[in-house]
Structures are given as C-alpha cells and as structure tokens.
Amino acid sequence: DVKVTQSSRYLVKRTGEKVFLECVQDMDHENMFWYRQDPGLGLRLIYFSYDVKMKEKGDIPEGYSVSREKKERFSLILESASTNQTSMYLCASRSPDEAYGYTFGSGTRLTVV
C-alpha cells in the first residue's frame, strides 16, 4: 500500500511565522498535491506537482509556496502565517492508475494564533 506521511499531526504557530509542512510518499509517484479542508467548503487545492522541481498553482495558492526537490517529498510553505490559514492541511499522492484515485496523508491541523 502507498503510504503518505505528513510530519506533524497538530501544529500551533503565531501570526507572521514561516511555517513548513512536510509530506513524504513511498511509492515513487510523480504527482503530489496539497489541499486544505475547511467546514462547509470541502477540500480546496493549494498547489500540486507533477515531477521534481515542477509545481503548479491550484485554486487557492495565495499566501503559500511549495518545494519539490526530491520525488518523494513535497513541502508546503506558509510564508507569513495568518489566522485565516488555520485549517486542516492534507497532502496526497496520486496513483498512475486512475482507478485508485489519491492516497492521502493523515493531515496536519494547523492553528495560527
């Protein structure tokens, strides 16, 4: 089974801090994704990457950046955390066989105070 690991389950950060969320997958997948999930809004795509050093903006990239230096690792960076970035952040890796959709990490619940 594909395993997608997010480095932290819960984080509390202060407004203005730079925040790094790490995601590692172990199945050599090209495609990786960062989403945030908020009540009533569902999952919204922040950024995605289809290969090393490649990145594309999703639907809500403002205030975020990403890094993909190695195939297995996809990092989400909050340049200057704000309270409206308090959310659940989910990383996903995509199977090359579309029939299997995504595999998600267990999520990072970030609170910005």
Binding footprint of another protein on the chain (CB under 8 A): 31, 33, 35, 40-43, 45, 48, 50, 56, 58, 90, 94, 98-107, 109
E strand segments, 18-72? 19-21, 23-25, 32-38, 42-51, 54-57, 64-70
Closest distance to another protein from the beta carbon of 37 (Å): 9
Rounded Cα distance between 26 and 88, Å, is: 22
Closest distance to another protein from the beta carbon of 80 (Å): 26
Cβ(3)–Cβ(25) below 8 Å? yes
The closest alpha carbon to 50, from 27, 29, 21, 36, belongs to 29
Q: Supply 29's token pair.
A: 């997948």
Residue with tokens 């308090």: 86
